[in-house]
Structure 1
Amino acid sequence: MPFGCVTLGDKKDYNQPSEVTDRYDLGQVIKTEEFCEIFRAKEKTTGKLYTCKKFLKRDGRKVRKAAKNEIIILKMVKHPNILQLVDVYITRKEYFIFLELATGREVFDWILDQGYYSEKDTSNVIRQVLEAVAYLHSLKIVHRNLKLENLVYYNRLKNSKIVISDFHLAKLENGLIKEPCGTPEYLAPEVVGRQRYGRPVDCWAIGVIMYILLSGNPPFYEEADEDDYENHDKNLFRKILAGDYEFDPPYWDDISQAAKELVTRLMEVEQDQRITAEEAISHEWISGNAASDKNIKDGVCAQIEKNFARAKWKKAVRVTTLMKRLRAPEQTETATATAPAATSA
């Protein structure tokens, strides 16, 4: 399907709003994010359903930048585990991004509905994420916001694939990146420490995802009052900088050594020593037979419901204007983030 608009900055290429409504029926808003509203759209000629993200230009420079960035990145990628761009319309007032519609559930919901859940199931999820990320990294694209909320099943069939969504923070790595952004609990130490960073931050985030899927617990969590965002994030970031996580009993007692070893390599504090996505695909826990088939559902589900179903975790996993007034332990000056913020997964 040809894109409604090819370029991003030339006024003569603006679409008329009627071009969008002539082609698609936009339903009610199904989700509101900081940068955009999300609709379920129906193509009139075919009846096919898509996801539509509408960005309003009047909402500011960061919104316009996020929309342009997502369009540029999504036009570059084509992979079975990445939600594909279908169409783009740019009017004088709005950006409309049409994507494939994923009708499956989030990974958490899928786990909770299973009668049997093992390391092999987790390995299958992580393998698909690694394959998508290895592909992105081959194009020098850093996702920068990998988290469980951005992983969904493509449909509700038994063997549905996993797809990665939400590319508004993704960035082409032309040299190391400076500005910090992402979701606090998934941030790599080099981002927290305000170092230059690149593709290894995605591998760290996959390690965090893997840790959660195997235990039901986040590797880093600060029990302080989540309403006190400044102190919550400061203490959380200190733990991340130190790589202060453990394979706590009893949650990890039944987890294989191979799984723990891969988590450790993905969550290596030194980014130049961290395993790459391509290397991780070849790990025995992903490509071999090292993943256990023992049922771990009861323990994992109990911790998921305890840690992630509560409102306080929903607050904790916000995408924030990062490290505002954060003072890293080795720094003498307060660091201020310049990255865009979003409050919804």
Structure 2
Amino acid sequence: MPFGCVTLGDKKDYNQPSEVTDRYDLGQVIKTEEFCEIFRAKEKTTGKLYTCKKFLKRDGRKVRKAAKNEIIILKMVKHPNILQLVDVYVTRKEYFIFLELATGREVFDWILDQGYYSERDTSNVIRQVLEAVAYLHSLKIVHRNLKLENLVYYNRLKNSKIVISDFHLAKLENGLIKEPCGTPEYLAPEVVGRQRYGRPVDCWAIGVIMYILLSGNPPFYEEVEEDDYENHDKNLFRKILAGNYEFDPPYWDDISQAAKELVTRLMEVDQDQRITAEEAISHEWISGNAASDKNIKDGVCAQIEKNFARAKWKVHGPHPVLRLRCSTGAEEISGVPLSGRAKKPACQQAKLLPLRPQPHCCGCPGSCQEGIHQVKGPRGRQGISMPRGGLNWAFPDLAATGFLSCLTFTLYFLAL
């Protein structure tokens, strides 16, 4: 039965687990994300393949909220550049979300495989992302976690479209949003500064994506000692707050002025002055002929392999979801008090170490070729999932965090 018997209100009308297994064959787990496990599913009657995301209710309120949120948002949207919802089942213990299966490659893999890569190729990718985001924004939906890892080619055909995935952090913009979340390297200054924010955060993230695709470098990157996450994020956030990025030679020497101008407008520090997705679609670099057709593959690929293929950036960069209230205060990062707020208590300044950073592809030659990514944590590190705050954190020294953090930590484990 399409969309199962999902009821997200007061009435509890649960599906039976057999309803899922009677209709679908679920394979092994192919990827583990912050809130869910991802399977490849096969519909028994048609043989069609889908992606299945399974959320376990016992993993906590944050997981349940993420599942409900993703269901609500995906049922609202229908766009060619957004991975479409196919089916939903809600049992007493789980949420099952079935989506279209994207069998194409991630954007980085596509670039590395090309014999020729130019600004026009990047413009084509950014145009599709902008069109999808403009559609979301017309519905007052903020994605809040746009990044290269969430952009994938729909299939392996030469002219395959780009699709956006992962909507568990997406939010309806009923007034400005206060809750900070996202992936550190893609966070807008207003999120880092813990200001109220809205749809412009997605445009900032698109600017970061565009910067990377044109140069192979992230606009904000901090080289630190291994495992020094606290200093990495603190220095990274300071640069983001200041809008401290440059079009460094030689990486940007062959990039057109129109491309640089669009990046600058997308990555405008003042969210009120930042270009909108709709306006960006009309920019000459997107809709006109301003994008250069000069081959920039060698330079971009060299930097991609240097910056993104190595495990070091993977470990430091993509904490799946960042909650700034659990890290060093923005006042300390910028050196300027925000809205006259007092300095945060010690429990919010404790040193935090991520137990399970964003998984990355293991490079397996078989399954990855078919769009399935086996997942390994960096250096094989394993961890528990703590839904509170949307992060997987370990507190190495509870004594330093104060009574409140100790109490929170204790209550969490008692609830397991």
TM-score by length of 1: 0.91
**Structure 1 segments (4+ residues) deviating >4 Å:** 325-341
Cα separation, partners in 2 of 1:88 and 1:106, compared to 1, 3 Å: same
Deviations 1:142-176 (A, max 9, x none): 00000000000000000000000000000000000
Tell me the distance in 1 between the aligned counterparts of 2:36 and 2:333: 28
Moved more, 332-341 or 4-13: 332-341
Cα separation, partners in 2 of 1:327 and 1:236, compared to 1, 3 Å: farther
Give the Å deviation of 1:12: 3.8
Give the Å deviation of 1:229: 1.2
Tell me the distance in 1 between the aligned counterparts of 2:301 and 2:71: 37
Deviations 1:45-96 (A, max 9, x none): 1100000000000011111111010000000000000000000000000000
- The residue that corresponds to 1:6 in the other structure is 6
Moved more, 149-158 or 26-35: 26-35
Give the Å deviation of 1:228: 1.3
Deviations 1:22-43 (A, max 9, x none): 0000011101112111000000
Deviations 1:164-190 (A, max 9, x none): 000000000000000100000000000
**Contact map agreement 2:221 2:236 (CA 8 A) in 1:** yes
Cα separation, partners in 2 of 1:267 and 1:107, compared to 1, 3 Å: same
1:116 counterpart SS class: coil
Give the Å deviation of 1:290: 0.1
1:11 counterpart SS class: coil
Tell me the distance in 1 between the aligned counterparts of 2:344 and 2:24: 33
TM-score by length of 2: 0.76
1:271 counterpart SS class: coil
Tell me the distance in 2 between the aligned counterparts of 1:67 and 1:328: 23
Tell me the distance in 1 between the aligned counterparts of 2:176 and 2:82: 24
Equivalent of 2:327 in 316, 329, 338: 329
Moved more, 145-154 or 326-335: 326-335
Give the Å deviation of 1:2: 2.2
Give the Å deviation of 1:11: 5.4
Give the Å deviation of 1:312: 1.3
Deviations 1:230-261 (A, max 9, x none): 11101000000000000000000000000000
Cα separation, partners in 2 of 1:268 and 1:339, compared to 1, 3 Å: farther
Give the Å deviation of 1:334: 6.7
Deviations 1:95-140 (A, max 9, x none): 0000000000000000000000000000000000000000000000
Tell me the distance in 1 between the aligned counterparts of 2:101 and 2:191: 32
1:111 counterpart SS class: helix
1:15 counterpart SS class: coil
Cα separation, partners in 2 of 1:232 and 1:159, compared to 1, 3 Å: same
**Contact map agreement 2:14 2:91 (CA 8 A) in 1:** yes
Tell me the distance in 1 between the aligned counterparts of 2:202 and 2:258: 20
Q: How many residues align?
A: 333
**Contact map agreement 1:326 1:335 (CA 8 A) in 2:** no
Moved more, 220-229 or 232-241: 220-229
Give the Å deviation of 1:327: 9.6
CA RMSD in angstroms comes to 3.6
Tell me the distance in 2 between the aligned counterparts of 1:250 and 1:102: 35
Give 1 or 2 for the bigger CA radius of gyration: 2
Identity score, percent: 95
Moved more, 111-120 or 330-339: 330-339
Question: Structure 2: where are the runs of 5+ without partners?
Answer: 315-322, 335-341, 347-414
Cα separation, partners in 2 of 1:117 and 1:191, compared to 1, 3 Å: same
Give the Å deviation of 1:330: 12
Question: Structure 1: where are the runs of 5+ without partners?
Answer: 315-324
Cα separation, partners in 2 of 1:28 and 1:329, compared to 1, 3 Å: closer
Tell me the distance in 2 between the aligned counterparts of 1:39 and 1:254: 42
Equivalent of 2:345 in 326, 340, 345: 340
Give the Å deviation of 1:225: 2.2
**Contact map agreement 2:235 2:333 (CA 8 A) in 1:** no
